[in-house]
Structure formats: structure tokens, C-alpha cells
Amino acid sequence: MIARIFKAAFYCPHFILLGLAVVSASALVAALISQYVFGLLPCELCIYQRIPYAVVILLAVIGIKATKKIGVKYGAFNIFLCGVALLINSGIAFYHVGVEEGWWTSGCSIGNLSTLNADDLAASIKSAPAVSCSSKPWSLFGISMAGYNIALCGFLGIYSILSSITVTRRANGF
């Protein structure tokens, strides 16, 4: 039984795409629950990190449908694209962690206020997002949600790309 699940996790495009869609939907639901139930308002970079999850869900649904009609290689291509989207999300999350830790600044974080005059400061306040990207409203063991997103998306991205290779190799008879 475990061997069949392990085999499906790397060779069956439907299983892989469904898993990617479920994990991505779960991540989006967790983000929305933290926002609307627990009151953790997202910053600009938090919103950007949600976009690749939506892309993965869309690609996975299209891939599941198209694999049945077109073939396994199309499913492998969609798995690969999901992996790329997840690695991009991991990169955005890494940038976000860097902003939170003060390794670099972002356009959505507050910079050096001593160089601004009163008019520039007023304009900056009016155009600033509601939540600064440099703040860490929640953490577990000192790691923010963006930090966990690096690990999740990095793992899933690498898994997706390796799975797309194994699905393609199997479809080609290797």
C-alpha cells in the first residue's frame, strides 16, 4: 500500500497535480483565515506570495483535465510549470524574510525618515501600505509565515520539477 502511494507520488500526474492543488489551496485558506479570523493583516509582499499559489491551482486543474484528453506529457509540463511557480514564490518569500530581518529594504517598508522633508513625509504616509513588510506580526520558533513559506514552496517546487522529469521519462519509456 505504501509502495503504491510512493509510486503515485512521483509517477502519476493526476495524483501529483491534485496534491499540488490541495496544498496550494490549503496555504491560501490558511492565509485567509489568519487574515480574517485572527486579524493578521497582510503586507504587500504577503499578497504577492498568494499569487503563485493561485497560479498553481489553475495550472493543476488545467493539467488534470488536459492529461486525460491530450496525454501524460502535457501533465508533466504542467507539473513543471507548477514547480517554477512555487520556486518563484519561494524567492518572493526569501525576499520578504530579508525585509523582515532588515537584510535589505523594500518599497513597502519604512526607510530612513531623517532625509525627508515634511511634504515628502506626508506623501510617503499617504502612499504607504497599511502594514509594513518589515514587521513580523506572527512567528513560531522565531520563524515568520514568510519563512515557513520559503520551506514549503522550495520543497514543493523541487518535488514538482523532479516529478515532472520522472513522469516524462516514464512516458518516453525510460
Q: What are the tens digits of pLDDT across the range 7-34?
A: 666 668 888 999 999 999 999 999 999 9
pLDDT at 108: 65
The CB-based long-range contact list for 119-125 (8 Å cut-off, 24+ gap) reads none
Q: What are the tens digits of pLDDT across the range 71-125?
A: 778 888 999 999 999 999 999 999 989 988 888 777 664 555 556 566 665 665 5
Quote the strand ranges of the chain, DSSP E.
139-140, 143-144
% residues pLDDT > 70 (the chain): 80
pLDDT at 7: 66
Q: How far apart are the first and last CA of the chain?
A: 24
CATH of region 2-171: 1.20.1550.10
Cell reading at 156: 514543493
The CB-based long-range contact list for 94-102 (8 Å cut-off, 24+ gap) reads 94/150, 95/45, 96/45, 96/46, 96/49, 96/133, 96/146, 96/149, 97/144, 97/146, 97/147, 97/150, 99/45, 99/133, 99/134, 100/133, 100/134, 100/135, 100/136, 100/144, 100/146, 102/134
Quote the CA–CA distance of 112 and 115 in Å, as a whole number: 6
Domain ranges of the chain: 2-171
Count of CB atoms situated within 10 Å of the CB of 89: 27
Eight-class DSSP state of 113: G
Sign of dihedral through CA atoms 142, 94, 77, 54? positive
